[in-house]
Amino acid sequence: MRARYGSLAPVLVETTLLRRRAAVKLGALGGPSVGVSQWLFTDEALQQATAAPVALHRAKRLAAGARVVHDATCSIGTELAALRELSVPAVGSDTDPVRLAMARHNVGTTAFLCRADALRPVTRETVVLIDPARRRGGRRRFSPGDYTPGLGAVLDCYRGRDLAVKCAPGIVFDQLNRFGFDGEIEVTSYRGSVREACLWSAGLAQPGVRRRASILDTGEEISDAEPSDCPVGPAGRWIVDPDGAVVRAGLVRHYGARHGLWQLDPDIAYLSGDRLPPAVRGFEVLEQLTFDERRLRAALSALDCGALEILVRGVQVDPDALRRRLRPRGNRPLSVIITRVGRDASGRAAAYVCRPSY
């Protein structure tokens, strides 16, 4: 590469490696003339880019309004490409001339792009989409005040306008109240991982909805506008560890009520029931006991446990260290769920030995 391309060799190698990573993350977002395998990237831009299924999910929501969308932090054009896939009219802007040039290459010469600061609005009567940078110098920034642009400044700048803001999934919801945000928080998961929290201003939110969980793997959505009558009781045939989006959005009780499940403990996000919700991985209870390593080791041995999955919630236990101490040597793959059951003095650590559904 150096012999053939000289000083361009490092850039060409990096571009090739980034395109390989992008093929997995961005899939079919490339246009008719330039596929993702021919896109241009920077490493940081690709890390920040929204995965294609998540971007397409958001584009679908934005398409429902039949409005022009202004992606005010368009970077290399991922969200613009998703909007184009659903024929949503859009314009893009960014402060970085290099990323704008990449976006021009990635989404095509017919795209409307300009160089502009997201905090200096250049469009009217559009739905504004903003994805603040949450990395600086290759390191993640978790505080909304450290976003670029800062979340508080974004919400102040576009107050009263229809706005969607992509945020880190771990954002503290109470912080949004201090910023005066009064819309909907949508937590989205894909392939079993929570990917983001998207803020939808009141004009884009469904009436009565403040929190929503969207599980792209199953297509299920649940919101706080649904009933939350979820009782508490002992384990039934199955234990369900709800999808991370449901847990992160604080909708465990709503999810349980929808599927006829109950909680093992009112403060712990494990549910139980006699039937599994459709397309959901569950854990069939084979044995339950008060958590004690010696008793648990004996129970696993009696059940011929080999490969062992350990899930912990509400109890200070290191799953990896515990697995080494239990030393399972059998042939049967099993799961152990360790959780707190009961409050105050009546509370105890319980262990459930289970057969995973898959």
Secondary structure (H, E, C), the chain:
CHHHHHHHHHHHHHHHHHHHHHHHHHCCCCCCCCCHHHCCCCHHHHHHCCCHHHHHHHHHHHHCCCCCEEECCCCCCHHHHHHHHCCCCEEEEECCHHHHHHHHHHHCCCCEEEECCCCCCCCCCCEEEECCECEECCEECCCHHHCECCHHHHHHHCCCCCEEEEECCCCCHHHHHHCCCCCEEEEEEECCEEEEEEEECCCCCCCCCCEEEEECCCCEEEECCCCCCCCECCCCCEEECCCHHHHHCCCHHHHHHHHCCEECCCCCCCEEECCCCCCCCCEEEEEEEECCHHHHHHHHHHCCEEEEEEEEECCCCCHHHHHHHHCCCCCEEEEEEEEEECCHHHCEEEEEEEEECC
> Do the beta carbons of residue 146 and residue 51 sit within 8 Å?
no
Tens digits of per-residue pLDDT, 208-246? 999 999 999 999 999 999 999 999 999 999 999 999 999
Q: What is the pLDDT of residue 329?
A: 94
pLDDT-above-90 percentage for the chain: 86
Give residue 32's pLDDT band: very low, low, confident or very high (50, 70, 90).
low
Give residue 65's pLDDT band: very low, low, confident or very high (50, 70, 90).
confident
Tens digits of per-residue pLDDT, 21-30? 999 999 878 6
Tens digits of per-residue pLDDT, 163-218? 999 999 999 998 898 899 999 999 999 999 999 999 999 999 999 999 999 999 99
Q: What is the pLDDT of residue 27?
A: 86
Mean pLDDT score, 66-85 = 95
Class of the CATH domain delimited by 2-221: alpha beta
Give residue 312's pLDDT band: very low, low, confident or very high (50, 70, 90).
very high
- pLDDT averaged over the chain? 93
Q: What is the pLDDT of residue 343?
A: 72
Q: Which residues of 6-33 are buried (b: 16+ CB within 10 A; e: fewer)?
A: eeeeeeeeebeebbeebeebbeebbbee
Q: What is the pLDDT of residue 66?
A: 78
Q: What is the pLDDT of residue 35?
A: 77
Give residue 136's pLDDT band: very low, low, confident or very high (50, 70, 90).
low
Domain ranges of the chain: 2-221, 281-358
Give residue 43's pLDDT band: very low, low, confident or very high (50, 70, 90).
very high
Give residue 140's pLDDT band: very low, low, confident or very high (50, 70, 90).
confident
> Do the beta carbons of residue 357 and residue 276 sit within 8 Å?
yes
- Over 80: is that where the pLDDT of 113 sits? yes
Mean pLDDT score, 146-165 = 94
> Do the beta carbons of residue 83 and residue 68 sit within 8 Å?
no
Give residue 31's pLDDT band: very low, low, confident or very high (50, 70, 90).
low
Give residue 347's pLDDT band: very low, low, confident or very high (50, 70, 90).
confident
Q: What is the pLDDT of residue 345?
A: 57
Q: What is the pLDDT of residue 50?
A: 95
Q: What is the pLDDT of residue 78?
A: 96
Q: Are strands 283-290 and 348-356 parallel, antiparallel or unpaired?
A: antiparallel
